Amino acid sequence: MVLAGRLDSRRASDAIVVLGAAQWAGRPSPVLRARLDHGAALWRERVAPLLLLTGGVGDGDTISEAEVGRRYLVAKGIPASAILVERTGRTTGQSVRSAAAILRGEGLRRVVLVSDPFHALRLRILAARHGLDAATSPTRTSPIARNAVTEWRYVLSESVKLPVAIFAPGA
């Protein structure tokens, strides 16, 4: 799991899928901002012509993480026409499942997944389960990735979630 998070397997793809994270009153949290900035950099490098942003509406929120991300990237110069949004996912599994459905509807399946390093292995497994041909490109600028103690907490949490992703058919 740790090794998977250290590998950047970006490659030419149909879309860059940026996993959601918290948004604060319509602004991306530092974790979400790091993921969005990394996805935008990949788009600018022409890794893929589309960005698909995931993330639903959290408890007490009035706007989805994906919509906050779309507004942020448009303000940074990414054309709205290059951005798709998945606004329903509240968990990683839900977001990947919904993103895969959106991409299938567009006839797309080759993706680069963007999230924090601790997330990379489980994302690839979930993406494969939902018919995506996925590579990962973890962000290195997230506050999680820059803090060893916090990162290890997330790694331990993923070590519990990973077997579920592997063995639970509905995950």
**What is the structure's pLDDT at 143?**
72
Residue span of the structural domain in which 13 resides: 2-167
pTM, rounded to two decimals = 0.85
- Give the CA radius of gyration of the chain: 15
Q: Is the pLDDT of residue 33 over 90?
A: yes
Q: Is the pLDDT of residue 155 over 70?
A: no
Give CA–CA dist 26/49, Å, rounded. 26
Domain count, the chain: 1
80-118 pLDDT, tens digit per residue, is: 999 999 999 999 999 999 999 999 999 999 999 999 888
The neighbouring-strand residues paired with 28 are 23
Question: Residue 143: which CATH number?
Answer: 3.40.50.620
Terminal alpha carbon distance of the chain: 18
The answer to whether the beta carbons of residues 86 and 64 sit under 8 Å apart is no
Provide mean pLDDT across the span 30-49: 97
Q: Is the pLDDT of residue 57 over 50?
A: yes
b/e 57-86 (16+ beta carbons within 10 angstroms → b): beeeeeebbbbbbbbbbeeeebeeebbbbb
